[in-house]
Amino acid sequence: MKAAVLVEPGKPLELQDLSVSKPGPHEVLIRTAACGLCHSDLHFIEGAYPHPLPAVPGHEAAGIVEAVGSEVRTVRVGDAVVTCLSAFCGHCEFCVTGRMSLCLGADTRRAPGGAPRLTRSDDGSTVNQMLNLSAFAEQMLVHEHACVAINPEMPLDRAAVIGCAVTTGAGAVFNAAKLTPGETICVVGCGGVGLATINAAKIAGAGRIIAVDPMPEKRDLAKKLGATDAIDAGPDAAKEIVEMTKGGVHHAIEAVGRPASGDLAVASLRRGGTATILGMMPLNHKVGLSAMDLLSDKKLQGAIMGQNHFPVDLPRLVDFYMRGLLDLDTIIAERIPLEGINDGFEKMKQGHSARSVIVFDQ
Ligand SMILES: [Zn+2]
Ligand SMILES: [Zn+2]
């Protein structure tokens, strides 16, 4: 099968022919239908985050189950599924206390020394799976706790973006911020995750939704998805938000991955407010709270993958789309073939489009 392989950081992905292993007892083989391009992929492609190479990136996918292992009970051949990188073991401290997105998922990978899930077709050498998924490929072999069956009526290109961007953004509102109807929120950064956050804030009944982005076209998209206000990300943005909301917002969500936007999120909070950082910052950077922030009861938290419980959350998000509440059509900027993947990441670097989704031949 064809896959986009990261051979060397900073170089374009290479389309190579790979072989995929047969499903083990708890594994699921999926024919990939669509996969979104996520900013986190770019961090690995550019080498900002290290990973054993060669590897196949891609972690925002949907597809159809082709085969299942002998012990798999959660999905069946022919099911439409969305994958999630939050593969969970089901029995560790995090899983049994309901925080499965924190699970390190050791049992969801093949044991070291065993046959790899992916190899090169020409010489049989190992190709590393990335984030338990490797979705920039025509097929994925994953643990059964890395995918969930969804409504078969759901279009799979739109289902794909739920797998990372929408789960993260919506989870930040529903699971991490636990926004109460009427509360105010600001969202820093209006890419795929930020737009999904804005849309979820509208669904949750936020009183005022303030979008912050330097790009005018992204501010327009933010308004289309439910932002009540959209402002430029200049040096006065926090002051503007505090004035607009008479003291700051209840919730600030950072969806960029830069220390400055994290600081902006904290500075826009009202007394007692909470800032949630979603973006992947450079590994040596920090965001913090000042003495006055602490005396004002402000809080700062991470929310990896929106603190999801994806087997429950994902089908609900699909339902929101089917009912016309979740506007995935606006979040997706373009559909491209696998061959266009490097151009897609070039566009992402320029910061213009919302979400590019690879659609595989059906
Ligand atoms: Zn992602
Ligand atoms: Zn676990």
| C-alpha 296 – ligand 1 centre gap (Å) | 33
Distance (angstroms) between ligand 2 centre and the Cα of 39 equals: 26
Cβ neighbours of residue 312 under 8 Å, at least 6 residues apart?
none
pLDDT recorded at residue 112: 85
* Residue 31 Cα to ligand 2 middle (Å): 26
Residue 135 CA neighbour count, 13 Å, CB half? 32
pLDDT for 355 equals 87
Percent of the chain whose pLDDT exceeds 70: 100
Q: How many A from CA of 280 to the centre of ligand 1?
A: 10
Gap from CA of 94 to ligand 2 centroid (Å): 6
CATH superfamily of 165-304: NAD(P)-binding Rossmann-like Domain (3.40.50.720)
| pLDDT at position 350 | 87
pLDDT of residue 345: 95
Residue 54 in contact with residue 6, Cβ under 8 Å?
A: yes
Ligand number nearest CA of 88 is 2
pLDDT of residue 106: 85
Catalytic residues: 38, 40, 43, 59, 164
User: Dihedral of the CA atoms 258, 261, 266, 267 (nearest 10)?
Assistant: 140
**Domain residue extents for the chain:** 2-162+308-359, 165-304
Per-residue pLDDT, 283: 86
- Superfamily (CATH H level) for 2-162+308-359: Medium-chain alcohol dehydrogenases, catalytic domain (3.90.180.10)
- Is-contact 56 137, C-beta < 8 A? yes
User: Which ligand is nearest the CA of 107, by number?
Assistant: 2
Q: What is the DSSP letter of 72?
A: -
Point out the ligand nearest to the CA of residue 143: 2
Task: Give the pLDDT of residue 333.
Answer: 87
Residue 81, both tokens:
């599924």
202 alpha carbon – ligand 1 mean position (Å):
22
* Nearest CA among 29, 27, 9 for reference residue 19: 29
Sequential DSSP letters for 57-103: ----EEEEEEEE-TT--S--TT-EEEE-S----SSSHHHHTT-GGG-
Which regions of the chain are under pLDDT 70? 362
The DSSP element (H or E) to which 315 belongs, if any, is helix 310-322
Question: Beta strand pairing status for 14-20 and 118-120?
Answer: antiparallel
Distance CA 128, CA 195 (A): 31
Q: What is the DSSP string of 318-334?
A: HHHHHTT-S-HHHH--E
42 C-alpha to center of ligand 2: Å?
27
| CA-angle at 260, arms to 60 and 354, nearest 5° | 30
Task: Give the whole-angstrom CA distance, residue 29 versus residue 112.
Answer: 20
Question: Minimum-distance ligand to the CA of 99?
Answer: 2
Look at residue 113 in the predicted model and tell me its pLDDT.
86
Residues within 5 Å of ion ligand 1, judged at the Cβ atom: 38, 40, 164
Distance between Cα 247 and ligand 1 center (Å): 33
Ligand 2 geometric centre to CA of 97 (Å) = 9
Ligand minimally distant from the alpha carbon of residue 101: 2
Q: Which ligand is nearest to the CA of 91?
A: 2
**Measured distance CA(253)–CA(183) in Å, rounded:** 13
Query: Is the distance from CB of 45 to CB of 3 less than 8 angstroms?
Result: no
Distance 162 CA to ligand 1 centre (A): 10
**Strand 249-254 vs strand 269-277: parallel, antiparallel, or unpaired?**
parallel
Tell me if 127 sits within 8 A of 118, measured CB to CB.
yes
Angle subtended at Cα 321 by Cα 37 and Cα 89, rounded to the nearest 5 degrees: 60
| Spacing, Cα 89 to ligand 2 middle (Å) | 4
